[in-house]
Amino acid sequence: MPELPEVENVGRAIAAALIGRAVTGVKAPFSGVLGQSLRATRKALVGKQLADVHRHGKYLILNFTGEGGGEAHLMIHLRMTGQIFVMDGYVPDKHVHVSFDFDGVPVHYRDIRKFGRLVLVEDGRRPAALDHVGPDMLTVRWSEWHARAAHRAAPIKAVLLDQGVAAGLGNIYVDESLFLARVHPEARPRDLDDATLREVLKRAKQVLRLAIKHGGTTFMNFADFHGRPGNFRRKLRVYGRGGEDCRDCGGTLEKTVVGGRGTVFCPRCQS
């Protein structure tokens, strides 16, 4: 499941491989993942070159510029199973829904569940589509996050997943952050003191940074650009380990549902 670290790595890979190259063609065997028609997408992108790649939370925005100064901005959200491949010899299968040609370099968008979207937007950094999305989790300041989160009565896990508070955490890294901060997923932010909340934010940023460094987590579907899995999975402390031993205290990790999501935590360490 791509969350902020996986999206960051995809964005970096796209930037490294494609900046300076122009879109020369777009095909879409399944155009349902496009926010606009294939025709409109072609019209906006063909002939323009990739100038930079911007990430906000789990959203990527590819910014294009044309010869005559025209611009286009393609916002990508991979949701659950979206992948982008730029590999020599890659043969698209039935899950590849859109393929771009960048001056002869093929770029494929693959998405088993078709949840992801590639949408043309009007702005390269803060399009209207992101109005309801909070600041990026990696860079949000304590004061800003505190103002948005500290009064909330919902379980802290739900608040961390709420992209309107701060954007980027998904189910994996929320469970990991709360374990590292030693906070119970059902604890309510308004009942927690500032030192504890500060610890949660600090640990969330720490786990995101570390996961970026390790190429992200491959659990079900994530693979980088070249088809390689991320290797953060072996660093996971709780996610996917329900019923197994806590790596800190040796107790048994518990699996429950919080805010409608599968949740793993250590009842002894996170009290």
Residues that bind DNA (CB under 7 A): 1, 3, 32, 57-59, 77, 79-81, 95, 112-115, 129, 132, 152-154, 158, 161, 163, 167, 170-172, 259-262
Residue number with CB closer to DNA (251 or 262): 262
Cα–Cα distance, 206 to 198 (Å, whole number): 12
Whether 3 is catalytic: yes
Whether 261 is catalytic: yes
Strands (E) located in the chain: 23-27, 49-56, 59-65, 71-77, 82-85, 96-102, 105-111, 117-121, 254-258, 261-265
Q: How far is the CB of 156 from DNA (least distance, A)?
A: 11
Q: Which of 48, 55, 58, 148 is catalytic?
A: 58
Q: How far is the CB of 250 from DNA (least distance, A)?
A: 24
Cα–Cα distance, 149 to 159 (Å, whole number): 7
Q: How far is the CB of 260 from DNA (least distance, A)?
A: 6
Tokens matching residue 134: 């909070």
Residue number with CB closer to DNA (23 or 159): 159
Q: Which of 2, 5, 127, 189 is catalytic?
A: 2
CA 207 to chain centre: 14
Residue number with CB closer to DNA (22 or 120): 120
Whether 58 is catalytic: yes
46 closest CA partner among 16, 67, 30, 75 = 67
Specify the 3-state DSSP secondary structure of 99: strand
In one letter, which amino acid is 159?
A: V
Whether 186 is catalytic: no
Residue number with CB closer to DNA (23 or 161): 161
Residue number with CB closer to DNA (115 or 142): 115
Q: How far is the CB of 65 from DNA (least distance, A)?
A: 26
Q: How far is the CB of 125 from DNA (least distance, A)?
A: 16
Cα–Cα distance, 147 to 165 (Å, whole number): 9
CA separation, residue 269 to residues 21, 37, 184, 207, 246 (Å):
50, 51, 9, 18, 9
Q: Which of 205, 261, 267, 268 is catalytic?
A: 261
Catalytic residue list: 2-3, 58, 261
